[in-house]
Amino acid sequence: MTEIGTKLIDSGEILKDLDHPFRVSAGPGSGKTYWLISHIRNVLRNSKRLTPASRIACITYTTVASEEIKSRLNEGGNRVDISTIHGFLYTNIIKTYAYLLKDEKNDYLVSIKDLNGHEEHRPLGFFHKWINQNPAYSYLRNTPDEIATSIECLKDLSWRIVDDECKLVLRNPYKGGKKYRTSDKVLSFPSTKQELLLNYKKLFWQSGLIHHEDVLYLSYRILKENPEICRYLSMRYPYIFIDEFQDTNPIQTKIITWLANAGSIIGVIGDPAQSIYQFQDARRDDFIEFNLPGLVRYEIENNRRSTNKIISLLNYVRKDDALKQKGVRDEEGSDILVVISDNQEKIRSFFDEEAKRLDKYTEICIITRYNDDLIKLKNQKGLTDNEIWDKFRIIDHDRESFFRRLFLSIEYANQGRYEIAVTEFLKVFRTDENGKFKKLLKGSACSDLIKRSVVLIILEYFITNWETLNKMSLYDTHNNINAILDGVNGCDIRLPRIRNGGKFFDFAEKTSVVDLINSLKIVEDKSNIRTIHGAKGTEYQSVLLHLGKENELNNIINPNINGSKDDCRIYYVALSRAKDFMCISVPSLSKEVKARLVELGMKVIEI
């Protein structure tokens, strides 16, 4: 049933009204990305608000989604800026106006000259310096267990609006009083000490390092303290369209509202049933309650992606929601299968054979909820150490950062994302104002052109010789890189020598490259084995949903799509990725659950 006051539209419908803000509610497979791209084309051709100097901003939730829209738009390329919300804020606010932020001493809050993008928050690099500056909190690092627990708390820090001010809080407050793994002693993390936590963040900012979550805080502060910037941005972007708005958080919503009040036409597209980023402070009610003067509400109820059997299950899972989807393909499709087995090789073999039998094997994907299960699925024998990178980081933080970025770059390149691969690896070649490398690398300064050449040479070498290199030890790989660097003309860069008998020497000799690769967590992975969050925004002919435990099925059998937690919505997103064939694997199944699955129209098979 469509919400009262909401206009029902089709994904192919062209809006005549280009002068009012809007909210489009659209379920999975509805063609909302197609609609958004068509709407952008419509605005480019017919808007009277656009000037030769103004642009359209199209904001998506992931880099993969922005790449998809860029590849499909094929029009107005120089008049449409497509990026993630973090990319939009960094480029248009932080990079341009960070100099306006001053600390209590009237010094720059962020080192302007060292600014170079934003990245994942990795505390260990500045943790000890922070404690050295605040010796009263030295108890946070007395033992390796205390260090690990403190690092976990620091990684959990997030910015939230409290009484109209952005403050640092723990996303999961229980972590501040968490017991250590090796004892019943409880950590007393100073989660309420705002000045102390802000000083921790400043250590990164003064080195030009901004974390993803800091992009929101710094942008919020800049705009709040300098509201005239909103007017400048509104003139530059008279139209701002945000996809997947159900995954936004209150800071983002506040910034978007400021831009709307300054004059930008705001359009948001999303589906509250697919809000699954609560762990990153996403608030689905920000989409449901989104309102601006003159806002027009639209809804797309069709599902163009899936067969009727899949849509029927999806509608059951979101039965307490106003939106009910209707299939456009009008094909019943094959049965949804639930396979019982704890043998991953058997499950994969069964899934592959069934997809081939159905002639639905061209596009397949295996998805699971948890990163630990993902790592095991990628390495079917399960012979992998999920904590290997944590061990590496503690032994040698700088070398861990170098090799993590190298292997991430190789994975991105193997997925065809070459520019992202180069950008990622270039981060290890950062230099200070004197041209000295900031981390690990030794040697004299070199130009940006030589740095990029070095990155390309190393990546080409690894990709070309990957079958041989990934079987090597980390120790041999380390030495191989120095041999490559020695052969580059005009380059005096090298990794520091490994000291015999040291902790890293022992670790590097015992650790293989393939172990590190298999345990690597890749943000926005484009391989055909992903987490459910990583599969968001994609579609495949055949999907295998791997469940590590039977109780995960409860989110499908007894759904609560409007619940305060994301659990049900996460599995709804998983089920909605399939176009033709949906298969669910589970290690065991009780008689009661089996009977309920059959009632819901699924076929249960034990192999």
Residue 30 sits in a domain of what CATH number?
Answer: 3.40.50.300
Task: Give the residue from 241, 274, 300 where a domain finishes.
Answer: 300
Residue 540 has pLDDT above 90, yes or no: yes
Residue 444 has pLDDT above 90, yes or no: no
Do residue 409 and residue 334 come from a single domain? no
Do residue 245 and residue 349 come from a single domain? no
Task: Give the residue from 463, 496, 519 where a domain finishes.
Answer: 519
Residue 182 has pLDDT above 50, yes or no: no
DSSP symbols for 592-607:
HHHHHHHHTT-EEEE-
Do residue 412 and residue 514 come from a single domain? yes
Best mean pLDDT range from 367-371, 431-435, 502-506, 571-575: 571-575
Alpha carbon distance 100, 94 (integer Å): 9
Residue 278 has pLDDT above 60, yes or no: yes
Do residue 295 and residue 247 come from a single domain? yes
Yes or no: say if 15 and 300 are a contact pair by the CB < 8 Å rule.
no
Read off the pLDDT of each residue in 218-243 and give the average, rounded to a whole number.
97
For residue 530, name the pLDDT band (cuts at 50, 70, 90).
Answer: very high
CA-based nearest residue to 390, from 130, 579, 102, 144: 144
Do residue 176 and residue 35 come from a single domain? no
The pLDDT, as a whole number, for residue 471 is 85
Do residue 248 and residue 269 come from a single domain? yes
Per-residue pLDDT tens for 391-437?
898 899 899 999 999 999 998 898 888 888 999 999 888 887 777 78
> Is residue 419 included in any domain, yes or no?
yes
The pLDDT, as a whole number, for residue 212 is 93
- C-alpha torsion angle, residues 115, 118, 123, 127 (rounded to 10): 10
Do residue 295 and residue 362 come from a single domain? no
Quote the number of domains for the chain. 4
Do residue 509 and residue 415 come from a single domain? yes
End-to-end CA distance of the chain: 41
> Is residue 105 included in any domain, yes or no?
no
Yes or no: say if 53 and 238 are a contact pair by the CB < 8 Å rule.
no
The pLDDT, as a whole number, for residue 180 is 44
Do residue 511 and residue 400 come from a single domain? yes
> Is residue 571 included in any domain, yes or no?
yes
Task: Give the residue from 251, 266, 300 where a domain finishes.
Answer: 300
Q: Rounded to 5 degrees, what angle do the CA atoms 404, 406, 412 make?
A: 100
Place of tokens 């806002």: 295
Read off the pLDDT of each residue in 53-70 and give the average, rounded to a whole number.
89
Average pLDDT of the chain is 90
How many helices and strands, by DSSP H and E, does the chain display? 26, 21
> Is residue 492 included in any domain, yes or no?
yes
Do residue 536 and residue 556 come from a single domain? yes
Yes or no: say if 506 and 465 are a contact pair by the CB < 8 Å rule.
no
Read off the pLDDT of each residue in 7-23 and give the average, rounded to a whole number.
95
Do residue 139 and residue 256 come from a single domain? no
Amino acid at 279: F
> Is residue 112 included in any domain, yes or no?
no
Residue 321 belongs to what domain range?
308-379+528-606
Alpha carbon distance 403, 207 (integer Å): 21
> Is residue 1 included in any domain, yes or no?
no
